[in-house]
A and B are shown apart, each in its own frame.
Chain A
Amino acid sequence: MVAVVLLTATGTGQARLQHAGKFEVQQADTAGFLRLGKERGYETALYMPNERLVVFYASRIERSKDDFFSSTYSIYAVRNRGDLEHGVVRARFGSLGRVSLRFRPSGRMHKRDPQPGCEGGSGITEEGTFVGHLSFRGEGNYFHVSSAKGEAYISHSPRLRCEKGQALESHPRSLRKYVAPIPLLPDEYSIALLYASTRSHGRYVGITATHPEGSPPGAGVQLGIVEPRHGMAIGHGVYLNGPPGTLRTSLPGAHPATATLAPPAPFYGEAAYSEESDAWTGTLGVKLAGLRLPLTGPGFHVHLCVVNPLRDRDGCDFFRTEPPPEQRPARRGSALR
């Protein structure tokens, strides 16, 4: 479950390739996983999506009594200096921790056939345990993981020959890409959408709130934070469906356009946007694992889109023409139609 959430939230899910030729190659790969258990409400794990990356991740899903839910994650990605093919994981998470582990297979193995449209050898998953040293404290000493005991496996995938479009995309080799959030909230069908972002000292912070046509009061909110630190890429994120009062905007055609954003925990406070001053002000912030971050200020640039569903059938589509969030500049300006 944790893995599924993380893969979805960080864009590391396996999408289909689109190549020009009739056939394409799915490269051989090795991945590993070690479940580390629950730590201060977060499910934690060590994940090796390929031979070169080691990722510590923590995620938490909460559901309120009103059936509103929030999903929070923190990801720390570094290079693997060991040889995962031979079961060795060796990495340093800056001042936050380090791992030096060796995989010991239990003897239980699972074979899996290539996915439809591909041919080659069978994939093999070995169950077992990791032995060695593991310590991870997290930011502000939020986590303190020191045991490598837990469910573990290593999965070997052979090189496959696939029909065009059937090969699975390999995980990004870039640390930053691995921890970057992907937009989970569709701008399509949204009739009110607010996007505020800032980029400072290499840290990207972006918050999106959207209300789809026809949905009840409330808004979906997604926060993504990406930053590099001493050879490590760190990503934090929140996705939630907020209750009534989360996003309020002026109506289409009203000038100056205004908006207020007041999402529930882990956010706190409220932010206001005014088209007149192009200012993003207020007390809005977020509390994540070991991190308390204000989410307003002059460094933020805001897009606000409020449309009439009969005039703009595609909803607020200004994301569609833009690059993914981690490549997107935090531009100035608002888009009000």
Chain B
Amino acid sequence: MRMRQAAVAVLALAALSCFPGGAGAKVGHGRPPAKQWIDFELEGSNGYSIHVSVNPRRHLILQVTKEGFAAEYMTRDVLADTDRVKAKLLGLGTISVRFHPRGSVRHPLLPGCGRKRPTVQPGVVRGTIRFAGEREYTKVKVREAEAAIEEPVRWFCRYGVKFEPNPREREWVSKFSAGVLGVSFLARKYRPGMIEGGQVLYWAETGEAFETASGRVPLTIYRHLRVPAPASTFRDARPEHLTVSPPPPFSGTGALARTPESVFTWGGDLSVQFPGLDPIPLAGPSFESGYCLRESGCFRQHADYP
């Protein structure tokens, strides 16, 4: 199979996973119109958790998590049925299951979601569930898994997904970002005690899109990493020069420096290693960079395109 690879923007990935709100059809064996999600949890090897969701637009999202790492593999479910899923993750696995209800429908109360409650039908999925991450950093192969079909009230009030960003993470004092198509790096520094695990949070993200020659069954992979670190890893006391040296799985050092031509260069050997991948460079002349002080504002340096 011929494959085409292209870097994708994070926003595009987010758009792929968006879904409509509202409730409609009966939960369980109902047929479209479907505004329902199927979710099931799996246990991957090497301590990774795997969560599979199929949204109302029949996008299948397989999410792998472990500590600060998360990867999402997104493709299309080729079946339109609410209670059946059939999808291929190009070269990485297959999911072909049918939902079987087990137990009665529940309406759990979700904190922060008002009086309206989602409708949840517990059950199991049975069939083929096979997934192996790149270079088999994690894998799973089962015939059955506990599952639920959920009809959420609002898109952010889902029983099956925990989405609780820490609002304190927005209270940074200074931040640095660098990015090139398909890869981005972010470092935020906080006041002492603001976040757990240190005074600096580092993020790295990468996205890739694969599609077949016909372009009909794409696979999009989005990887995300979040690592706390001590303040000493982010040195930005001098406004014309800063260095970052985040802890593993990052390695090396990145430095932003102002040249005599008043260009801010972002260089060094900083890289990040996502599970199953070779290290990805996070510094160089092709990266756009930006630095912000909460009290003063930001500046950006455009990339040095040849």
C-alpha gap A311/B239 in the complex (Å): 9
B259 within 8 A of A: yes
> Which residues of A are found within 8 Å of B212, using beta-carbon distances?
none
B301 within 8 A of A: yes
Asked whether A214 lies within 8 Å of B296 as measured between CB atoms, the reply is no
Classify chain A: how many residues form its interface, as a range.
Answer: 20 to 34
Classify chain B: how many residues form its interface, as a range.
Answer: 10 to 19
C-alpha gap A218/B291 in the complex (Å): 21
Asked whether B304 lies within 8 Å of A217 as measured between CB atoms, the reply is yes
CB within 8 Å of A: which B75-123 residues: none
* Chain B 229-244 interface 0/1 with A at a Cβ cutoff of 8 Å (1 = within): 0000000000110000
A248 within 8 A of B: yes
> Which residues of A are found within 8 Å of B301, using beta-carbon distances?
214
Asked whether B260 lies within 8 Å of A250 as measured between CB atoms, the reply is yes
> Which residues of A are found within 8 Å of B29, using beta-carbon distances?
none
Asked whether B296 lies within 8 Å of A310 as measured between CB atoms, the reply is yes
Residue of B262, B293, B302 most packed against chain A (CB within 10 A): B262
Given A214-B300, A216-B304, A313-B297, A308 and B239 touching (CB < 8 A)?
yes
Q: Is the interface of B mostly helix, strand, loop or mixed?
A: loop
> Which residues of B are found within 8 Å of A192, using beta-carbon distances?
261-262
> Which residues of B are found within 8 Å of A214, using beta-carbon distances?
299-302
Asked whether A211 lies within 8 Å of B302 as measured between CB atoms, the reply is no
* Chain A 216-252 interface 0/1 with B at a Cβ cutoff of 8 Å (1 = within): 1111000000000000000000000000110111111
A213 within 8 A of B: yes
How many A-B residue pairs have C-beta atoms within 8 angstroms? Tell me.
54
B258 within 8 A of A: yes
A58 within 8 A of B: no
> Which residues of B are found within 8 Å of A249, using beta-carbon distances?
260, 262
Residue of A217, A218, A250, A309 most packed against chain B (CB within 10 A): A309
> Which residues of B are found within 8 Å of A244, using beta-carbon distances?
261
Given A310-B297, A310-B299, A211 and B262 touching (CB < 8 A)?
yes
> Which residues of B are found within 8 Å of A247, using beta-carbon distances?
261-262
* Chain A 309-323 interface 0/1 with B at a Cβ cutoff of 8 Å (1 = within): 111010000000000
Report the minimal beta-carbon distance from A316 to chain B, rounded to whole angstroms: 11
A277 within 8 A of B: no
> Which residues of A are found within 8 Å of B300, using beta-carbon distances?
213-214
Asked whether B299 lies within 8 Å of A309 as measured between CB atoms, the reply is yes
B263 within 8 A of A: yes
Q: Is the interface of A mostly helix, strand, loop or mixed?
A: loop
A295 within 8 A of B: no
A118 within 8 A of B: no
CB within 8 Å of B: which A36-80 residues: none
C-alpha gap A218/B304 in the complex (Å): 11
Report the minimal beta-carbon distance from A130 to chain B, rounded to whole angstroms: 48
Residue of B239, B260, B298 most packed against chain A (CB within 10 A): B260
Partner of A248, one of B239, B261, B302: B261
Given A191-B262, A311-B239, A215 and B296 touching (CB < 8 A)?
no
CB within 8 Å of A: which B269-306 residues: 291, 293, 296-302, 304-305
A306 within 8 A of B: yes
CB within 8 Å of B: which A57-112 residues: none
C-alpha gap A278/B62 in the complex (Å): 66
Asked whether B297 lies within 8 Å of A217 as measured between CB atoms, the reply is no
Report the minimal beta-carbon distance from A187 to chain B, rounded to whole angstroms: 14
**Contact residues of A with B, CB < 8 Å?**
191-192, 211, 213-219, 244-245, 247-252, 306, 308-311, 313
27 A-B residue pairs with Cβ-Cβ distance under 8 Å, sorted by A, are A192-B262, A211-B262, A211-B263, A213-B299, A213-B300, A214-B300, A215-B302, A216-B263, A216-B302, A216-B304, A217-B259, A217-B261, A217-B263, A218-B261, A219-B261, A247-B261, A247-B262, A248-B260, A248-B261, A250-B260, A309-B297, A310-B239, A310-B291, A310-B296, A310-B298, A311-B296, A313-B297
